[in-house]
């Protein structure tokens, strides 16, 4: 090159470089998902994750029935930074930097062994051992496997690859086999991995492109848009911008789906944290439940989830990180995401605002009477008031005006807002589980009947008396009460 004078070749120090690969910020789940990406890119349709607790000799293996590699390809795959990130990828290729196998593996273990077989080729193996590299200070690949049974597993197949992690210092360390607390933590981590894989690869599993086996048990897909709920979520019309597709989903209100379904459908994130965008690259989930700085997580928006799927052709537009766990949308897409987010949040909020506001009358001309209303003071502060027009409150005031009025005022001045907010922050699902049952209680029926009798005795026509009660909270949630008003 003109103007440049060559000086020295500065080779990175093996010891410090390989140890820096250990700090890319993976956790066990994201690291294993990265290895599975390689299996999918190698056309595998069966991927097996196996692990064994054995103290410091514990291991994790991920094997597949993909096309496998010959010796040159294996050495290349084991070489850090082996692929040009700017190279065009096939549509199936979930990799980008040629670093995933190494960085994901070293983030969790000190010994990485890769065993592979290309059809009609011999089974071959290569191993990186960080302790060995540190002692020799040399990028020395080893032709080594700790147990021949791993080799035999791939030998039996037509083709495929097995990635073996040993010396799991990050999650096992030097623990003895008898150490129950580390053993339990190890098993819990593996449960988290299973949940993570069922979410991240749900589109691949649903479309039967792959099967993932977890200790021989087939992983079921977890679809974050909960399409199996009853009633079904509302699905927006998919919108396409270049090679990005955006679709919003609005979940039904929790009170409509029953406690069991609600608890089973929250996923590991829970309903509150699961709101927001789900960013997929080539159907592989990268980011789950995040508003990407365009909105905040709020209680009234937690029914909104938006699917965004882009192809691997525009990774750099999305500033995809090496762990494939964050993605920043390009400016022109941000505008569309922001617009669609506002629509979805508005729809979610509307379901909240209308909760408990169904009226018994279909005519639409009945005034709905909530139990509580809110109003702003001159200082701009929200105050919550008990609705004096509500039939129960109205009757109470008519019977004992002075004392009842004072009691209501006392309640209004002491709404436990701090306690409610504290409970809400501690567990946002907490209040949603306080939903109405299908049937009214006997107390509620008796109260409605008593009110009805009072109104009729005061000369209110029977139909109007019914309508007034049945359009008020909480009677409006139970049309069955109408049967008792005779």
Rounded to the nearest integer, the mean pLDDT of the chain is: 84
Whether 176 and 264 share a structural domain = no
Whether 103 and 59 share a structural domain = yes
Stated pTM of the model:
0.73
With a CB cutoff of 8 Å and minimum separation 6, the contacts of 223 are 202, 206
pLDDT at 256: 77
Domain count, the chain: 3
pLDDT at 93: 46
pLDDT at 11: 76
The string of pLDDT tens digits covering residues 38-84 is 999 999 999 999 999 999 999 999 999 999 999 999 999 998 765 54
pLDDT at 214: 98
Alpha-carbon span 67 to 107, nearest angstrom? 26
The domain of 107 spans 14-218
Structural domain contains residue 85: yes
Q: Give me the CATH number covering residue 21.
A: 3.30.565.10
Strand 276-281 vs strand 304-310: parallel, antiparallel, or unpaired?
parallel
pLDDT at 426: 61
Classify residue 292 as left (phi > 0), alpha (psi -120 to 50) or beta: left
pLDDT at 324: 59
- Kindly give the parts of the chain with pLDDT less than 70: 1-2, 81-100, 259, 266-269, 314-316, 320-326, 353-368, 400, 423-438
pLDDT at 351: 82
Structural domain contains residue 438: yes
Alpha-carbon span 383 to 444, nearest angstrom? 27
**50 touches 215 (CB < 8 A):** yes
Instruction: Write the DSSP symbol of residue 222.
Output: -
Structural domain contains residue 66: yes
**337 touches 246 (CB < 8 A):** yes
pLDDT at 432: 53
Of 218, 252, 276, the residue that ends a domain is: 218
């Amino acid at each position: 090159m003109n103007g440049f004078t060559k000086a020295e070749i500065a080779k990175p120090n093996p010891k410090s470089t390989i140890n820096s690969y250990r700090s890319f910020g993976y956790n066990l789940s994201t690291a294993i998902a990265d290895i599975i990406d390689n299996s999918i890119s190698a056309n595998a349709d069966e991927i097996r994750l196996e692990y064994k607790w054995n103290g410091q000799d514990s291991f994790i293996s991920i094997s597949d029935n993909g096309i496998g590699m010959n010796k040159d390809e294996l050495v290349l795959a084991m070489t850090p930074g082996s692929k040009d990130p700017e190279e065009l990828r096939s549509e199936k290729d979930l990799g980008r930097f040629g670093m995933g196998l190494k960085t994901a593996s070293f983030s969790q273990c000190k010994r990485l062994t890769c065993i592979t077989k290309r059809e009609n080729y011999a089974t071959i193996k290569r191993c990186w051992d960080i302790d060995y590299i540190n002692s020799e200070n040399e990028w020395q690949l080893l032709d080594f496997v700790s147990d021949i049974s791993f080799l035999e597993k791939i030998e039996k197949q037509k083709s495929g690859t097995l990635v073996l992690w040993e010396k799991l210092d990050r999650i096992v360390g030097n623990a003895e086999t008898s150490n129950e607390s580390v053993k339990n933590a190890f098993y819990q981590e593996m449960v988290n991995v299973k949940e993570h894989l069922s979410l991240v690869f749900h589109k691949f599993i649903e479309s039967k492109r792959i099967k993932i086996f977890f200790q021989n048990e087939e992983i079921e897909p977890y679809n974050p848009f909960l399409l199996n709920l009853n009633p079904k979520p509302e699905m927006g019309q998919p919108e396409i911008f270049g090679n990005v597709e955006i679709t919003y989903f609005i979940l039904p209100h929790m009170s409509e789906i029953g406690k069991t379904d609600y608890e089973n459908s929250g996923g590991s994130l829970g309903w509150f944290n699961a709101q927001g965008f789900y960013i997929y690259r080539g159907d592989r989930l990268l980011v789950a439940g995040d508003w990407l700085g365009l909105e905040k997580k709020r209680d009234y928006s937690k029914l909104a989830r938006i699917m965004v799927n882009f192809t691997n052709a525009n990774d750099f537009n999305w500033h995809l990180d090496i762990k494939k766990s964050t993605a920043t949308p390009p400016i022109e897409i941000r505008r569309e995401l922001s617009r669609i987010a506002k629509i979805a949040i508005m729809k979610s909020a509307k379901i909240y605002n209308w909760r408990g506001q169904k009226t018994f009358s279909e005519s639409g001309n009945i005034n709905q009477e909530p139990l509580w209303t809110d109003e702003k003071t001159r200082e701009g502060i929200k105050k919550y008031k008990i609705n004096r027009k509500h039939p129960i409150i109205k009757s109470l005031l008519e019977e004992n005006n002075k004392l009842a009025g004072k009691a209501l005022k006392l309640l209004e001045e002491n709404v436990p807002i701090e306690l409610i907010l504290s409970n809400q922050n501690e567990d946002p699902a907490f209040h949603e589980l306080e939903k109405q049952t299908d049937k009214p209680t006997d107390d509620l029926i008796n109260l409605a009947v008593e009110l009805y009798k009072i109104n009729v005795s005061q000369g209110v026509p029977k139909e109007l008396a019914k309508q007034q009660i049945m359009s008020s909270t909480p009677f409006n949630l139970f049309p069955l009460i109408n049967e008792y008003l005779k």
